[in-house]
Structures are given as structure tokens and as C-alpha cells.
Chains A and B, each alone.
Chain A
Amino acid sequence: MSRLGSHSFVRLLKCNVRCVRICGGQRFKSNEPSEFEHPVSRTIRVLKGDVKNYFSLPEGEKTFRKQHFLSGHCDVLVIGGGIMGSSIAYWLKQRARQGLHVVVVEKDPTVIPNNVLCYTSASTVLSVGGIRQQFSVPESIQMSLFGAEFLRNVKKHLYVEGHDPPDVQFTPTGYLFLATEKGATQLEENYKLQQELGAKNELLSPTKLKEKFPWLNTEDIALGCHGLRDEGWFDPWSLLDGFKKKAINLGAEYIQGEAVGFKFKSMPDVMVEGVEPGTYEALDSLLIKTPSGDIHPIKFGLCVIAAGPQSGAVAKMARIGNGAGYLQFPLPVEPRKRYVYAFNCPNGPGLNTPLTVDPTGAYFRREGLAGSFIGGRSPDVDKEPSTENLDVDHQFFDDYIWPHIAKRVKAFEGLKVNSAWAGFYEYNTFDANGIVGLHPYYQNLYLATGFSGHGIQHGPAVGRAVMEMIIDGGFKTIDLSRLSFDRIITGNPILENNIW
């Protein structure tokens, strides 16, 4: 904050800033003063801008105005503008309004001419967009239930005046998990937990399965679990776009840039549990590389790492993983490439095709109505594809996916692959579940990452959880304290008890 001592006052006048922020969050466009500006004319200019802003229309009209300047400091800085980052920005702004200045930094390289970010390689838009409650971790079930409720009311939540409400195109067709003899008990336990927490699904014996889904080959299947409510798939791009537009409408600022480093500030007076007194170094600001190549620092009060697959790399810049004490534990989130194949099979299963998950992990679902399907599978641990780019390996489908789905559905023996794409999971190598909460060393760094393929359905819930952590100091609705970074330090993985 600016103290008006004469020394800093003169410095403020003389330095070549591109914008000046007035406390309280109001902004105005300033001409770039390349020479000394007289204090009186500067005062008049500032007051004129204030008066204009007072009578201007609400934030909605400023929604898509081009950003001529970048903020120099903010209250909450969110690194990553995908589903997690945008959800966090939305929840913070809709609660704190002008009380918190939120800046979201997104690095997506593709920008179309009128400055709208395109998200071509962000995991969010490449996702298949499924939502299910069939997990074995209670927190995941809770988050998915809230996600479904949020999607149901998305037109009300993310309504921006003057624009169409977002249409997420939810297709309520459910998930069908199949288990062999080995996994049947686990499936039943998961089913009981899900029922307890309010999800609705049904256990089906092989005869019942054959009755409901005649195209299914139930040869080695002992049990199936079919989701009956709030399960299906939706369009992740509309949800992301909805969050982003609403966040900007409420006053959040999206900056295009790539995080390249942090600046630290030594604070010897601060006492942190587990840290040697006098050695504490706080995170002071983030260095952003703008598209033009300049390095621009943004000072922040709080920082949230929601950078998806690159979260591990961003955390390394904050010395998480290459320090001492709590900082010796790296953030175990790294990108893992997953392929999705779109194929066509004219005499395949019809309308009654939920997203079917084979015991081997191969999955497929109906896409549209003309016999098109989408399918994929997570590769075995030792066959992970390289994450250098998003190129698709078509051989992977023929070797690892097609045999399993052709066995499960006879008609798929004659399928034809139309296209394919790849995306990165923000894979948590520790236990494949999300990491949410404050970092044990840094008192101003929050984490919301590592959801390993479930980020899109947990986005709304995690955004709300981080908002509660920041504003209320603790989780108020869904308690995600088990998913904090602490479990990585104590070595207690929270594993999803998969049935494959």
C-alpha cells in the first residue's frame, strides 16, 4: 500500500507505470505518462475518472473490454485459468465482490485476435466431461454430488446480464461399472458407501445386466453397478466459459502469461510451526512472462496453485521440493497423457449405453445418436506415453483398448476409428487424488490440484472449498481436510479402491 511519504510519492510520479490502482478496486484507463505529470493535473484526472466510474454501468459492460494494462498487485492470485482456477475466481468474487481483487494467470499460447483466450491445450477442454458419484473416497462422492447440483442450477449461478445463460448440455445416462469375481466385494462396499452419502445407483447381477443391456457380454462379470441419478456427461468448455465470464463480470482479472518464478521476502519475525525461527521466507510476488516476452511481477496477498498438469513445475519455482524442512517434499503432480478415441459402429449398442467401464479399465460411451462412440483406457504403469506433446498413438487403441471393448460388446469387432485426441491428466503420483488446502510452510499459498482425471466434475466443489478456506479460514460445507498436502508429508495415501 502506498504510504504518502515524500520519498515514495516522488518515486511514484517519476516511474513509468502503465496504470495506477486506486484502493478499493476501481480501475481506470490511464494514458502512459512518459514524462513528469503535474500533481494538480494528475489529481484532476484521477477525480474525473472516479466520477465517471461512479455513474458507469455495473461490471457487466466492462466484461470484454480489452486489457491495456496489467495489475501490479492483487489480493488473491490464481495460477491457472482452467476449471479449477476459474471456479476459484468465481466463488471468491461472488462472495467478496469488490472486497477482494482476484487475478487469474493463464498461459494458453493460442489467442484469437480480439484477446479471448482459446485454451487449446488446457486439460479442461480436452476432457471427456463425465460426472459420476461412484467413488470409494467419501470426499469425492460429496464433491461430485455438489457438482451435479451446481450443474443443475448453472443457469442461475453463472447468469451474466446481457448474455445467454450457459448451457452445459448434460446427458443423464449414468455410469456402469463392471466387476469380475475379484472386484465384486469392493464394488458392493463402494455401493453401500455411495448410498449412505446420498447417491442413487443399483447393483445388477449378470442376468439383470443382460436383461437391461442385451449388447453386453457378461461372460466373466460377477456384478455391475449402474448409476441412476446425477451421472452422465456434459460439455466442459461451456462450464469453463461460464465460470470465466461470470468471474470477469464480477470483477476478476484474467491475465495471459506464463508463471516463470517467484520472488521471496525474508520475514525473520514470522514464527511458523516447524520452521526454525528467523529463517522464514514468504512468497512475495509472481513473475509472469507476457506474450510479448516481458517479465512482469505481480505482488499478491494470497496465491493459489491451480495450474493443472504443470502444478508440480510451478510449485518447484516456489521452492516446494528443493528446500529444507517442509519444503523438501515436492508437489507430486505431473502431466500424464491420456488418449480418447472417437469411433463409429453402426450396429453397436443403441440408446441404452451408459458410460461402461470394463474391469480392465477400458471405457466407452455413446456420443450422439448415429452409432458414434468415445472410448479410452488408462495405460499400465510401465507403458505411460511421453508427455512432450499432444500427439496421439493410434496403435495404442488397437493394442490395448480394442481387444477389451470388442470382447465386452460383440458389435465392436467391426468398429472404425474416426478420430482421436489426447489430453493431460494432472496426475497425483502419490495417490491419484486431489490436493486441496494451505501448504504447511507458506502461510499464503493454497493448492487445488492433482485430481488425476476427476478435476472437471469436482471443479465447482473445490472452488467453493478454497473460497471457504480463504474467507472463512476452514472448510464449512464439504470437509476436505483429509485431502491436504499434509498427507504427503506423513505418507498416508488416500487411495481410490478401484475395482480393476
Chain B
Amino acid sequence: MNSTPRCLFRDWRTFACSLRFQSSVRGSEDNQLSGWRKSFKERGEWTSKFELFSPKTSSEGLIMRMIRAPIDLRPGVIKRWWKNKKEEYEMFEQSYIPDRHEILGNDLAAAHFVMYRGGKVKFSNENKWRAGKEHGLPNQKEPGYDLEAVDASDVNLYYQGLFNFKDLKYLKSLRLRNCRHMDDWCLDYISGELGTLEELDLQNCQNITERGLACLYRLQHLRYLNVNGIPQNRSFELTCLLLEETIPGLTIEGVDYVKQ
């Protein structure tokens, strides 16, 4: 069994993969290396006490890394290190928790996730937006709560946070205004996972380029796309034009085709 604690994996997928992979590959009959060539140690021949220090039996971890890293006490470097640490923590906080989706079901889990961080959600059977930490949503799976719209603007969502939007069959609108960390990879995830989207708001998501925008062709039901505030160039405008052609019924707001 994998003994590395879960928190060391930034992304639950890598952790889950390593578990599955170990059981599926190591034990398979395909692996014929176990028999044909044995090292002296495995054959039971003499080994010295230095074997305790061999790389296979010891593991280095944090201490050795800290000893080897050069000491750089410049204020700029320390600031950057601290900023990276905070980001890492935030990404870990936003990562997917399988238990949450087991207990609450996909829709409620996503709703809890968004509202806890200051976003708003709307269910298909209601007409009002729900927000705030005291939301009164059920703590267990309950039918009838189909997530229809998510407003995660200003929530500072990372790529890892997007994994909480999984298997949302009724999601029609996703607003990600001012989420600086949304980039092409996030659009890749959104277009692959949330195929029912009809409205996508990416205002002020500065890290998006035309390459990520091009992959939105997968959202065949998309009707409204907002790209205000994203740095634009000729390729960007051309991509928007082609996107409007590829997806029937799409209007893109925030791009100016007629330029001086």
C-alpha cells in the first residue's frame, strides 16, 4: 500500500493514480523481472551495516532539501517564497475531496464549495441566488437540488478548484469574473467536463489566450461568452470569429472586430 500521506499529493488524481497503478502493474504476471535476476542482497549473501544508509532503505525528505538549498536572504526572494507557499496552501485547500462528493452528491458538493468561498449559486428549481456561509443547504444527498448557475467571480479559483465541478448535468451558467488564475488549462477542463454550459463569463481573466479560447468549440450549447478585459490581439479576434462560426447561436461580448 502506498505509505505516502495524502497531503503530499497536490492533486488527488496523482494520489489515486499511484494507488491504482501500483496494484495493477506491480502484481501483474507481465512483470517477469521479479524472478530472473536477483541481486546479491536478495539471495541472502553477506551485507554490511552500511546497507542501512543505502538509498533504497532511507528516504531523505525535507531536511536534506533544506540543507542543500542555497541560503538566499534577499527580501525579494523571501517575499516570493512566502507568496508561493500561500499559493500552494490555497491550491491544496481548493483541491477535490472525494468524500465530499460521496456524501453530498456532485451538485450540492459544488454548491458548498462555491458558497463557502464567497460565491453564489442558483438551483434549477428556485429563482434566487444563494450565497453566504449560512446557506441552509442540506448536509446530505437530497434529490431536487440541481445546480443550474454558479457565480464564482472574485473567488480566486485555481485549476485544482475546478475539479469540484464534476458531473454537473444541469449546469447552464458559469461566471468566473476576475479570477486571475484562470488560464488555458482551466478552459481545457471546463470545455471537457461541463458540456452543458450555455453561458460562460471570463471577464478580466488575464491569463487566457486564443489557444485556450479555441478549445471552447467543444461546448456546443454555448450561447454567451464574455471576454472583456482579456488582452487581445489579431489571433484572439480571429479565434472569436471562428468560434462564433463553429458554434451556432453564440454571441461573444467584449471583442471588437472592427478596428482602425
Partner of B211, one of A58, A172, A212, A229: A172
Write the nearest CB–CB distance from A56 to chain B, whole angstroms: 11
* Docked complex: A452-472 residues within 8 A CB-CB of B: 471-472
B7-44 Cβ-contact flags toward A at 8 Å (1 or 0): 00001011011101110111000111100111110000
B17/A142 in contact, CB under 8 A: yes
A172 and B25 in contact (CB under 8 A), knowing A97-B69, A369-B242? no
Q: How near does chain A come to B252, taking the closest CB pair, in angstroms?
A: 13
Cβ of A346 within 8 Å of any chain B Cβ, yes or no, is: no
Encode B203-229 as 1/0 by CB contact (under 8 A) with A. Answer: 000000111101101101000000000
Residues on A with C-beta less than 8 A from B193 are 200, 228-229
Q: A170-B184, A172-B211, A477-B18 are in contact. Are A471 and B25 (CB under 8 A)?
A: no
**Pairwise interchain contact A172-B68, C-beta atoms closer than 8 A:** no
A-B contact count (CB 8 A): 133
Whole-angstrom CA separation of A484 from B36 in the bound complex: 13
Quick one: CB contact mask for A335-373 with B, threshold 8 Å, 1 for yes? 000000000000000111000000000000000111000
User: With A58-B70, A482-B31 in contact, is A228–B218 under 8 Å at CB?
Assistant: yes
Cα of A346 to Cα of B20 in the assembled complex, Å = 46
Which residues from 468 to 491 on chain A have a C-beta closer than 8 Å to any C-beta of chain B?
Answer: 471-474, 477-479, 481-482, 484, 486-487, 490
State which of B20, B37, B189, B245 has its C-beta within 8 Å of the C-beta of A229: B189
User: Are A490 and B242 in touch, CB under 8 angstroms?
Assistant: no
Instruction: Report whether A492 and B246 are in contact in the complex, using a CB–CB cutoff of 8 Å.
Output: no
Is B187 a contact partner of A172 (Cβ separation < 8 A)? yes
Provide the bound-state CA to CA distance between A200 and B188, in Å. 11
Residue among B18, B65, B188 with the highest chain A CB neighbour number at 10 A? B188
CB contacts (< 8 Å) of B212 on chain A: these are 172
Which of A140-175 touch B at CB < 8 Å?
142, 145-146, 149, 152, 156, 161, 169-174
Q: Check: B170 CB closer than 8 A to any chain A CB.
A: no
Q: How far is the CB of B139 from chain A (nearest CB, A)?
A: 29
User: Is A219 an interface residue, CB under 8 A from the partner?
Assistant: no
Q: Flag if A486 contacts B37 (CB, 8 Å).
A: yes
Which residues on A sit within 8 Å (CB–CB) of B37?
Answer: 273-274, 440, 486
Known: A197-B20, A350-B242, A477-B18. A273 touches B39 (CB 8 A): yes
Q: Could you tell me the distance in whole angstroms from the C-beta of B256 to the nearest C-beta in chain A?
A: 18
Q: How far is the CA of A200 from the CA of B220 in the complex (A)?
A: 18
Knowing A350-B242, A350-B246, A351-B242, the reply to whether A492 touches B32 (Cβ < 8 A) is yes
Is the contact region of chain A dominated by helix, strand, or loop, or is it mixed? loop
- Residues 183-201 of A at the B interface (beta carbon under 8 Å): 196-198, 200
Residues of A within 8 A of B187 (CB): 172
Interface string of A257-279 (1 = CB under 8 A from B): 00000000000000101100000
**Residue B92 CB within 8 A of the other chain:** no
Asked if B5 is at the interface (CB within 8 A of a chain A CB), the reply is: no
A118 at the A/B interface (Cβ < 8 Å)?
A: no
B69-97 interface code vs A (CB 8 A; 1 in, 0 out): 11010000100000010000000000000
User: Which of B53-61, B115-123, B144-152 makes up part of the contact surface?
Assistant: B53-61
Report the Cα distance A169→B235, complex, angstroms: 13
Bound CA span A287–B97, Å = 54
Q: CB within 8 A of A369: which of B40, B188, B220, B238? A: B238
Q: Give Cα A139 to B22, complex, Å.
A: 11
- For residue A230, CB closer than 8 A to chain B, the reply is yes
Point out the residues of chain B lying under 8 angstroms from A146, CB to CB: 14
Chain B nearest Cβ from A448, distance in angstroms: 18
Find out whether the CB atom of B188 lies under 8 angstroms from the CB atom of A172: yes
User: Is A198 touching B24 in the complex (CB atoms < 8 A)?
Assistant: no
Q: In the bound complex, how far is the Cα of B242 from the Cα of A231, in angstroms?
A: 21
Whether B196 is near chain A, meaning CB under 8 Å from some CB there, is no
In the complex, A42 has a CB within 8 A of chain B: no
CB contact under 8 A between A369 and B239, given known A149-B14, A481-B33, A486-B37? yes
Min CB gap A441→B, angstroms:
11
Q: Does B192 contact A (CB under 8 A)?
A: yes
A111 at the interface (CB under 8 A from B): no
Give chain B residues whose Cβ lies under 8 Å from the Cβ of A416.
none
* Interface, chain B (partner A; CB < 8 A): 11, 13-14, 16-18, 20-22, 24-26, 30-33, 36-40, 54-56, 59-60, 65, 68-70, 72, 77, 84, 159, 184-185, 187-189, 191-193, 209-212, 214-215, 217-218, 220, 235, 238-239, 242-243, 245-246
Q: Could you name 25 residue pairs across A and B whose Cβ atoms are closer than 8 Å?
A: A58-B70, A97-B70, A145-B14, A145-B17, A152-B185, A156-B84, A169-B211, A171-B184, A171-B211, A198-B17, A212-B220, A229-B189, A273-B37, A350-B242, A350-B245, A351-B214, A351-B217, A351-B242, A369-B214, A440-B37, A472-B60, A473-B55, A474-B55, A482-B31, A482-B33
Binding site for B on A (CB under 8 A): 58-59, 95-99, 138-139, 142, 145-146, 149, 152, 156, 161, 169-174, 196-198, 200, 212, 228-230, 232, 271, 273-274, 350-352, 368-370, 440, 471-474, 477-479, 481-482, 484, 486-487, 490, 492, 494
